[in-house]
Structure 1
Amino acid sequence: MSNISLIIEERATNIGNFMVGRLLPFRQKRSVGPFVFIDHMGPVKMSARENMEVLPHPHIGLSTLTFLFEGAIMHRDSIGSEIEIKPGAVNWMTAGKGVVHSERSPEYLRYTDKSLHGLQIWVALPKALEETEPSFTHIPAEEIPIWEEDGVQYKLIAGEALGKKSPVPVYSSLYFIEIKSKEAKHLSIGDKLYGESALYILDGSISSEGNEYEPKHILIAKDAKLCEFGIKANTTVYIFGGEVFPEERYIDWNFVSSSKERLAKAKADWIAQKFPKVSGETEFVPYPNWKK
């Protein structure tokens, strides 16, 4: 019997001046463990006249995880953080009761040809921490655990799994793992995982129970403990998941909460511009379909 309960294909989504591949949420699967949203950015080539321009926008009730494969993004937020993220590092921003941030091409790249490729992820917060004070942590690439077993390279980007722990300050039991192999291998790691689990194929392909799966697909496992698959040569996959919260999470635009009333308040507060500001920024992303 197959251990794959659902296969999700990447869907093109416009986020302003930028096209991304939306992976989660999906109508048949709103979340995997605490992971409620995943966008695959790029790979996109931008000319000297093009830049990433994600204007200030708000979040509540979640942590964002930005992980780049290529390029650079300048992050600015209402806490006062201003930092450039480069490939291999992790930007971890916890919105809690409310934060605003912008994401733009760094100044030194704005007038040159450039590329951008990476993942943008939202992780829901436990109910007791949904209204926590906002915070921001940048973890350099060299601090992320990387190791090799039987010719396969593993990287624990966030959380705890496979006997390792990432320094990213997560708030619940979860894992986000990169697996790369230059050779065809058979992997069986299910006994080291927990909760719900899913696998995203970035490059190459994997095989499971006689079927082969190509890039830009997420495979949702029926049981994380049965995570066993064949990985083809020159393949990169990401396994993510963790323990499921007892309460359902609702999403309205950039807001996540266990309470629909809280989402309504966040919407009203953003329309009234009651959220904190990002220093040096004057523009902002309006709530969708709302005209001033």
Structure 2
Amino acid sequence: MTRRIKRQYKAFRDDIRDLQTRRPVPGPELEHLDPFLFLNHHGPQVYAPDNLGLPFGPHPHRGFETVTFILRGELAHKDTGGHESIIGPGGVQWMTAGSGLIHSELSPESFKRQGGELEILQLWVNLPSRLKMTAPSYVGLQAADIPQIPLSHGEGSVSLISGEVAGVTGPIKTLTGVTMMTVQLAAGSKVTLKAPAAREVFLYTVKGRLQIGDQQAQSWHLIELDDSDDSVTIEAIEDAVLLFGHADKIREPIVSHGPFVMNTAQEINEAILDYQAGRFNVKLDG
């Protein structure tokens, strides 16, 4: 047995300035997949020399975590917690906004001068009410920091961010036991991944078409699985890249307003007031 496809949600195009952007969630047919709130897929595209780079200047967050996957290109991060890094291709940023953090996500000056390929995923993961006001934190991982678990016969690999696969543990120790990885599959290859039936699975096809059970999963789609089994078998019809993870459902009210995700409208108002009053620490320059 294997989990089967319940429904597919196509990522809709929502460009930000000159940044090609697709978003499968939230969308017209799906608000969230508890606890997974939001996914932006930027690129793939090629920036010319002397470009403006990424448009994500200083902005606040509260009540959840952002997980950013730099598939191609580079990303410069800076936040009011004092964290600063430039993460290259294959790297990941895991930021816990918690009680409140202001950060910027921009292209390094070298990328703006030289240009190059860019493809980035950003996933928002909700926090339960007991952790929404936890202290902010940040971890930046380069590709070399992330375990690469090869599949048999060189047919692909798993880049493990958090959780455990084949006895290997990912470098991120999450607050809520989230398992997260990217998976690279060669055409014709197959992998079976743990997907506990009691947990919510997040599966997004970054590239290529997949076969799951008797259905095909299309590229640039969020794939909602049923809960019929504790694993899922995925076969690549063509060379494929996918974002895969699973987590416990929080099952709490979700009230969101822009960069804030809380449980009540009152908490959203408090977040806005705290931000306006400078209680998210000092503002960043630039």
* Paired amino acid for 1:236: V
Superposition RMSD on alpha carbons, in Å? Answer: 2.4
1:249 aligns with 2:250: no
Give the C-alpha shift of residue 206 in structure 1. 0.7
State the TM-score, normalizing by the size of structure 1: 0.86
**2:36–2:202 Cα contact (<8 Å) kept:** no
What is the alpha-carbon distance in structure 1 between the residues aligned to residue 3 and residue 180 of structure 2? Answer: 23
| Structure 1 residue runs without a partner (length 5+) | 282-292
What is the alpha-carbon distance in structure 2 between the residues aligned to residue 3 and residue 214 of structure 1? Answer: 14
What is the alpha-carbon distance in structure 2 between the residues aligned to residue 160 and residue 27 of structure 1? Answer: 33
1:220 aligns with 2:220: no
Give the C-alpha shift of residue 181 in structure 1. 2.1
What is the alpha-carbon distance in structure 2 between the residues aligned to residue 200 and residue 250 of structure 1? Answer: 24
Match of 1:185 in 2: 189
Match of 2:73 in 1: 71
What is the alpha-carbon distance in structure 2 between the residues aligned to residue 83 and residue 278 of structure 1? Answer: 17
**1:203–1:234 Cα contact (<8 Å) kept:** yes
Q: 2:132 aligns with which of 106, 122, 130?
A: 130
Give the C-alpha shift of residue 33 in structure 1. 4.1
**2:10–2:220 Cα contact (<8 Å) kept:** yes
Q: How does 1:23-34 map to 2 (within 5 A)?
A: 23-34=24-35
Match of 1:41 in 2: 42
* Paired amino acid for 2:270: K
Match of 2:239 in 1: 234
1:141 aligns with 2:146: no
Q: 1:167 aligns with which of 167, 171, 182?
A: 171
1:158 aligns with 2:162: yes
State the TM-score, normalizing by the size of structure 2: 0.88
| Alignment CA distance shift 1:3-1:181 (3 Å) | closer
Match of 2:263 in 1: 258
Give the C-alpha shift of residue 113 in structure 1. 2.4
Give the C-alpha shift of residue 49 in structure 1. 3.3
Match of 2:85 in 1: 83
What is the alpha-carbon distance in structure 1 between the residues aligned to residue 40 and residue 225 of structure 2? Answer: 20
Match of 1:287 in 2: none
* Paired amino acid for 1:18: L
What is the alpha-carbon distance in structure 2 between the residues aligned to residue 106 and residue 193 of structure 1? Answer: 42
Give the C-alpha shift of residue 45 in structure 1. 2.1
**1:74–1:82 Cα contact (<8 Å) kept:** yes
Q: How many residues align?
A: 281
**1:54–1:103 Cα contact (<8 Å) kept:** yes
- Which segment drifts farther, 83-92 or 31-40? 31-40
- Which segment drifts farther, 111-120 or 128-137? 111-120
Q: 1:251 aligns to what SS in structure 2?
A: strand
Give the C-alpha shift of residue 193 in structure 1. 7.0
Deviations 1:202-242 (A, max 9, x none): 22211134332321011100116252232224222222221
| Alignment CA distance shift 1:276-1:211 (3 Å) | same
Match of 2:105 in 1: 103
| Structure 2 residue runs without a partner (length 5+) | none
Deviations 1:152-204 (A, max 9, x none): 31121233455432111311122222222224133333466750113211222
